[in-house]
Amino acid sequence: MADSLHLGAFLQARRARLRPADVGLPVLPGRRRVTGLRREEVAQLAGVSVSYYTRLEQDQPVRASDGVLTALATALRLDEHERAHVRELAARRPRPLRRPPAERADGLTRDLLRSVGHTPALVLGRRADVLAWNAPGHALLAGHLDPAAPDRPADRPNLTRMLFLDPHHRDLYADWDRKARAVVGHLRQVAGRHPEDALLASLVGELSVRCPEFTALWNDHRVRPCEADAYRLRHPLVGELTITQQVLVLARAPGQSLVLVTTEEGSRSADALGLLADHASRPAR
């Protein structure tokens, strides 16, 4: 994971995404040797020398000031999340990987989870490990798994791993490609903030080895937090429905979030979610 979290790798990926016409540069006749912008074109747009910009892409020991980072972000048409990511990468100092303490959902967080009633909800840790879920959340997203799995740290489901490697969870999303891009964009943002996290590095390494689709998305270097978005599901019990997943950061538990699943009021999807919630509330036989 460390090699893919260097500032140089991100800059290279972002300039490969742009064409001269995208940034107002003239398109000269003849065949270009690169698919995106050349280094000298980025340097020209940012107002820095080509040699300086080349050293940045090669991760040579050179300091990038806030003004230079802002100029590069503007030249590369970065959005607000990518701009923050660039600053995090530029501020990185080499550190050894370390295993972070085990995450847990405390009593107050579990009280919050219970308070949402029949709304499907999950508590996620930094790496998208499921720390807790209510019965509707389990029934909607992982009904094929043991509902008590989040209570066993060694067996906790991880939503990112499930999306790429669990056929049941993968088949749940009718628009899997869009969901996968969103999840990887969020994972890259988290990785940029916590490059020393050994468990996160292990997750990225595992998915990179076992899933070419993950590798392609990871190497694209897109950065995007998961906040709120709608997805179409194909649920084995209630059929097709459209849901909105909203992610609420838990201020008292850094790195943890509460994911709530809602539907449009009065819609067929709302009826389907209600049926699923009723099913989840019945005692197991």
- Taking only the tens of pLDDT, the chain with its 285 residues reads 545 568 899 999 999 999 988 998 887 666 677 778 999 999 999 999 999 999 999 988 888 899 999 999 999 999 999 999 999 899 877 778 899 988 999 999 999 999 998 999 999 999 999 999 999 999 999 999 999 999 999 899 999 999 999 999 999 999 999 999 999 999 999 999 898 999 999 999 999 999 999 999 999 999 988 888 999 999 999 999 999 999 999 988 888 999 999 999 999 999 999 999 898 887 765
Give the span between the Cα atoms of 25 and 38, in whole angstroms.
11
Residue 109 Cα distances to 121, 257, 260, angstroms: 12, 10, 13
- Tokens 């990038």, residue? 64
DSSP assignment string, 121-133:
EEEE-TTSBEEEE
Give the span between the Cα atoms of 195 and 203, in whole angstroms.
12
Verdict on whether the full-model pTM lies above 0.85: yes
Domain segments of the chain as ranges:
3-91, 107-281
- Tokens 């389990």, residue? 138
Class of domain 107-281: alpha beta
Which CATH number does 3-91 carry? 1.10.260.40
Identify the CA nearest to 261 among candidates 124, 150, 162, 81: 124
